[in-house]
């Protein structure tokens, strides 16, 4: 188990290094590149050449990359020129990351809390109205563009539910900043109003973000439970007189969980990219909004750091998922 | 399969199942599946509409004919009126015509992105699965790097590479993201094929390696790839909308595309929701159609379900 984990971590480092090289080369290959970004399109050739030399952009790309790696190792990814001009990219990431974790985690909780029980019920009542309707509903859920749903929620449901329709601006969280997690900070400092306010700001974006993971988790749970219900050991359990809750918990759900856990891991991807769209709609001050602004305003230092971080999170979560297999299913041995 | 009563009927019933390929039996089940038929009907209507749209559209989708009714200061746009049943858009262009012509571009984006992704995936997957060895390692490491970013984020990054985004850059961004998925799928089933008896038999008979790959292994590995293509048709259309929403889509809207129409009206979503709702609902219905076809196809091609 330990050796397996270490080997996977080494692979992760390799993948992230190659990805960062590709992203770095991509950034440098762009028309104009950072010089145009800093000086604007109308700079004189002399000032361009001077800045090119000053930034070391006249050196071979591989030399530039290693210099970049050296700076990156100490956390210096450059200065933002579009998202929050003047702030360092790392600052922006650290400031915004907790908000996105909070949002994605809430969305995932909603998706799991609804998806697994509904998927189980649908499988139990296979072919019923409830089953058919929820399957169609989940297919529609995957087909809705996330940002459209976010707008529908924002414009129609915020008044109805008495919820704020737009996120707070940066820093203005009404509570003392401790961890950067808005809801948690309010609880820690006993500023419960701020916590409650943060929670209210979280509900609609989390609902929008939860649709796709919910729909996918629902369908995988339903399929997995259907498969397990057909197994001989379930019939054996029934015929030896075990009660329904025991069969459900110990025999059906536990065996059906493996594909569901894999899916939950893969949904991190949908959450990360969905956060870009959802946070933009709700002006939610997280990493996703910074990415959306970064793409819009071509803020390359910020994009480079945030994309590398997204890749690390995504690959790490999927490693955790693979490791959790061994806990759920003792038959699987990690090599 | 029901066995007949008389001997003749029994033989007929047996013969019916002998020599029926997986594809043939899958098709037989699909024809009877109402879900597949609903999906196929949606897509059929969509394709016919988009092919005929240049003739069906009452007006030129690029012509700002109702521009006099657009009042920027009061955020007014042309309402529905005789000759323009859906009214006009923000530039005073006939909205119905734009919706109709938009279906064609949407089809082009979906099919184009799927074809490019499929071709790239076929080449990489066949290389990895058929040759194996170091080629396999190199291809799979490359695929790993591409899969280390969530698909949509990778598509955003690729789209941002283009200084002057166009319909083509949108298609390219969406399709490149699909290459690793297709490559992995194909490699997986090719590897399974390589260990199978019929490939061993062909090798023993001295069939050339190239023809083993292209005539024995590849055709038998295509099932999952076809299913995936159907599902990609759906996601491509949705992703194109997301690209436009982030300002990475095609800025030239003279020939509209649904995703572009939806992404471009974000600023007026609260005051003119119908400008977003029409393209959004069309995208949802078409994506649903492709998904229904893909999912039923997956079930039908699964040998476990074969009767």
Mean pLDDT by 10 residues, chain A (335 residues): 84 87 78 61 73 72 82 81 82 88 92 93 90 90 90 80 58 57 69 74 89 92 89 87 84 84 85 90 89 84 89 88 77 59
d(CA A84, CA A289): 11
Helix axes B95-126, B34-56, angle to 10 degrees: 120
Residue to test with chain B: of A22, A127, A147, most B Cβ within 10 A? A147
Q: Closest by alpha carbon to B298, among B238, B243, B242, B224?
A: B224
Look at A26 and B157 and tell me if their CB atoms are within 8 Å: yes
Name the one residue in this structure whose structure tokens are 């539910």.
A161
- Rounded to an integer, the average pLDDT of B50-61 is 87
Q: Closest by alpha carbon to B296, among B41, B19, B126, B9?
A: B41
- Beta-bridge mates of residue B94: B88
Size of interface A-B (CB pairs under 8 A): 111
* More confident site: B299 or A40: B299
Residue B283 touches chain A, beta carbons under 8 Å: yes
Q: Mean pLDDT lowest for which of A151-165, B156-170, B204-218?
A: A151-165
Residue A305 touches chain B, beta carbons under 8 Å: no
For A151, how many CA atoms within 13 A lie in the half-sphere containing its CB?
Answer: 22
A143 neighbourhood in chain B, CB within 8 Å:
234, 238, 283-284, 287-288, 291
Sequence-separated (6 or more) residues with CB below 8 Å from residue A121: A130
Look at B241 and A292 and tell me if their CB atoms are within 8 Å: no
Q: Mean pLDDT lowest for which of A215-229, B59-73, B117-131?
A: B59-73
d(CA B237, CA B256): 13
Look at B245 and A140 and tell me if their CB atoms are within 8 Å: no
CB burial of residue A155 (10 Å; 0-12, 13-18, 19+): middle
Look at A145 and B242 and tell me if their CB atoms are within 8 Å: yes
Partner B, chain A 13-42, Cβ-Cβ below 8 Å:
15-16, 18-19, 22-23, 26, 29-32
Look at A273 and B153 and tell me if their CB atoms are within 8 Å: yes
Q: Closest by alpha carbon to A93, among A105, A102, A84?
A: A84
Residue A277 touches chain B, beta carbons under 8 Å: yes
Residue B288 touches chain A, beta carbons under 8 Å: yes
Q: For chain A, list the domains and their CATH numbers.
A: 92-286 (1.10.3720.10)
Sequence-separated (6 or more) residues with CB below 8 Å from residue A267: A108, A111, A212, A213, A216, A217
- Closest-CA distance of chain B to residue A75, Å: 21
pLDDT for B7: 58
Name the average pLDDT for chain B.
84
> Both tokens of residue A45?
């050739």
d(CA A12, CA B80): 56
pLDDT for A267: 87
- Beta-bridge mates of residue B71: B76
A171 in the Ramachandran plot: left (φ > 0), alpha (ψ -120 to 50) or beta? left
* More confident site: B63 or A145: A145
Question: What CA dihedral angle connects A172, A176, A180 and A183, to 10 degrees?
Answer: -90
- Beta-bridge mates of residue B84: B81
For B169, how many CA atoms within 13 A lie in the half-sphere containing its CB?
Answer: 19
Instruction: Give the confidence band of B193 by pLDDT, cuts at 50, 70, 90.
Output: confident
Q: Closest by alpha carbon to A150, among B20, B280, B292, B49?
A: B280
Q: How many CB atoms lie within 10 A of CB B24?
A: 9
Q: Closest by alpha carbon to B153, among A138, A273, A277?
A: A273
Confidence check: pLDDT of B94 > 80: yes
Compute CA B135 distance to the chain's CA centroid, rounded to the nearest angstrom.
Answer: 29
A148 neighbourhood in chain B, CB within 8 Å:
241, 262, 276, 280
* pLDDT, tens only, B12-39: 555 555 555 667 777 888 888 888 899 9
* More confident site: B296 or B74: B296
Q: For chain B, list the domains and their CATH numbers.
A: 25-55+93-305 (1.10.3720.10)
A310 neighbourhood in chain B, CB within 8 Å:
149-150, 153
* More confident site: B6 or B176: B176
Confidence check: pLDDT of B6 > 60: no
d(CA A234, CA A252): 7
Q: Closest by alpha carbon to B152, among A269, A195, A261?
A: A269
pLDDT for A221: 92
User: Within A144-253, where are the H helices?
Assistant: 146-152, 158-160, 182-188, 192-229, 232-239, 244-246
| Percent with pLDDT over 70 in chain B | 91
Q: Closest by alpha carbon to B191, among B214, B210, B217, B165?
A: B217
Q: Mean pLDDT lowest for which of B19-23, B123-127, B175-179, B297-301?
A: B19-23
d(CA A283, CA A277): 10
Q: Is the dihedral of CA B49, B51, B56, B59 positive or negative?
A: positive
CB burial of residue A60 (10 Å; 0-12, 13-18, 19+): exposed
Q: Closest by alpha carbon to A278, among A114, A137, A145?
A: A145
Q: Answer whether A260's CB lies under 8 Å from A217's CB.
A: yes
Phi and psi angles of residue B57, each rounded to the nearest 5 degrees, phi first: -65, 125
Helices (H) and strands (E) in chain A, counts: 15, 0
Q: Answer whether A79's CB lies under 8 Å from A87's CB.
A: yes
pLDDT for B180: 92
For A295, how many CA atoms within 13 A lie in the half-sphere containing its CB?
Answer: 31
Helix axes A254-282, A89-124, angle to 10 degrees: 130
- Closest-CA distance of chain B to residue A263, Å: 14
B163 neighbourhood in chain A, CB within 8 Å:
30-32
Angle at A145 between CA B90 and CA A100, to 5 degrees: 110
Residue of A nearest to B291 (CA): A139
User: pTM for the complete prediction?
Assistant: 0.85
A311 neighbourhood in chain B, CB within 8 Å:
148-149
- Closest-CA distance of chain B to residue A46, Å: 23
B150, B163, B292: residue with CB nearest A31: B163
- SS3 at position B184: helix
Q: Answer whether B283's CB lies under 8 Å from B259's CB.
A: yes
Phi and psi angles of residue A18, each rounded to the nearest 5 degrees, phi first: -65, -45
* More confident site: A212 or B266: A212
pLDDT for B103: 92
Task: Collect contacts of B213-217 with beta carbons under 8 A, ≥24 apart.
Answer: B213/B126, B213/B130, B217/B129, B217/B130, B217/B190, B217/B193
Look at A295 and B160 and tell me if their CB atoms are within 8 Å: yes
pLDDT for A170: 45
Confidence check: pLDDT of B1 > 50: no
Look at B247 and A296 and tell me if their CB atoms are within 8 Å: yes
Look at A269 and B151 and tell me if their CB atoms are within 8 Å: yes
């Amino acid at each position: 188990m330990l050796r397996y984990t270490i080997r996977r971590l080494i692979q992760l480092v390799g993948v992230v290094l190659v990805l960062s090289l590709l992203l770095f080369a991509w950034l440098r290959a762009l028309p104009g590149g950072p010089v145009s970004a800093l000086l604007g399109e109308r700079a004189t050739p002399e000032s361009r050449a001077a800045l090119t030399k000053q930034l070391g952009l006249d050196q071979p790309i591989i030399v530039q990359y290693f210099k970049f790696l050296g700076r990156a190792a100490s956390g210096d990814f450059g200065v933002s020129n579009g998202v929050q001009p003047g702030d360092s990219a790392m600052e922006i990431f650290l400031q915004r990351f907790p908000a996105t974790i909070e949002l994605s985690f809430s969305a995932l909780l909603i998706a799991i809390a609804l998806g697994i029980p509904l998927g189980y019920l649908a499988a139990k009542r296979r072919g019923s109205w409830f089953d058919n309707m929820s399957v169609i509903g989940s297919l529609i859920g995957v087909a809705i563009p996330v940002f459209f749903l976010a707008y529908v929620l924002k414009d129609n449901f915020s008044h109805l539910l008495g919820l704020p329709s737009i996120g707070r601006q940066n820093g203005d969280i009404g509570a003392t900043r401790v961890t950067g997690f808005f809801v948690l900070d309010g609880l820690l400092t006993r500023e419960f109003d701020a916590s409650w306010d943060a929670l209210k700001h979280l509900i609609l974006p989390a609902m929008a973000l939860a649709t796709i993971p919910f729909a996918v988790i629902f369908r995988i749970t339903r399929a997995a439970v259907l498969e397990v219900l057909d197994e001989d050991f379930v019939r054996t359990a029934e015929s030896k007189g075990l009660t329904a809750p025991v069969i459900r918990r110990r025999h059906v759900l536990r065996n059906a969980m493996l594909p569901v856990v894999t899916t939950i891991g893969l949904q991190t991807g949908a959450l990360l990219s969905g956060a870009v769209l959802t946070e933009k709609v709700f002006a939610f001050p997280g990493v996703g909004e910074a990415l959306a602004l970064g793409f819009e305003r071509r803020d390359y230092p910020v994009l480079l750091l945030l994309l590398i971080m997204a890749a690390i999170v995504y690959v790490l979560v999927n490693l955790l998922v693979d490791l959790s297999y061994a806990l759920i299913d003792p038959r699987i041995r990690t090599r | 399969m029901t066995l007949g009563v008389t001997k003749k009927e029994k033989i007929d019933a047996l013969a019916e199942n002998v020599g029926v390929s997986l594809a043939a039996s899958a098709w037989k089940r699909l024809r009877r599946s109402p879900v597949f038929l609903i999906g196929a009907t949606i897509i059929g209507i969509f394709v016919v509409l988009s092919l005929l749209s240049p003739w069906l559209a009452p007006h030129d989708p690029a012509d700002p004919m109702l521009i006099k009714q657009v009042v920027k200061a009061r955020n007014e746009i042309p309402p529905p009126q005789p000759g323009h049943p859906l009214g006009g858009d923000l530039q005073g262009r006939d909205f119905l015509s734009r919706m109709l012509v938009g279906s064609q571009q949407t089809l082009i984006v979906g099919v184009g992105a799927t074809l490019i992704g499929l071709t790239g995936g076929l080449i990489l997957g066949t290389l990895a699965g058929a040759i194996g060895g170091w080629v396999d390692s190199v291809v799979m490491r490359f695929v790993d790097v591409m899969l280390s970013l969530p698909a949509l984020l990778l598509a955003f990054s690729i789209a941002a590479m283009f200084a002057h985004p166009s319909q083509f850059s949108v298609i390219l961004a969406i399709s490149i993201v699909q290459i690793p998925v297709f490559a992995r799928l194909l490699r997986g089933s090719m590897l399974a094929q390589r260990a199978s008896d019929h490939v061993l038999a062909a090798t023993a008979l001295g069939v050339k390696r190239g023809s083993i790959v292209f005539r024995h292994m590849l055709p038998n590995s295509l099932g999952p790839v076809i299913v995936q293509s159907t599902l990609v048709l759906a996601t491509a259309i949705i992703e194109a909308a997301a690209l436009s929403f982030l300002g990475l889509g095609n800025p030239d809207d003279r020939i509209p595309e649904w995703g572009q129409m939806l992404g471009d009206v974000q600023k007026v979503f609260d005051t003119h929701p119908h400008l977003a709702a029409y393209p959004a609902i069309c995208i949802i219905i078409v994506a649903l159609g492709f998904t229904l076809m893909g999912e039923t196809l997956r079930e039908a091609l699964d040998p476990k379900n074969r009767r």
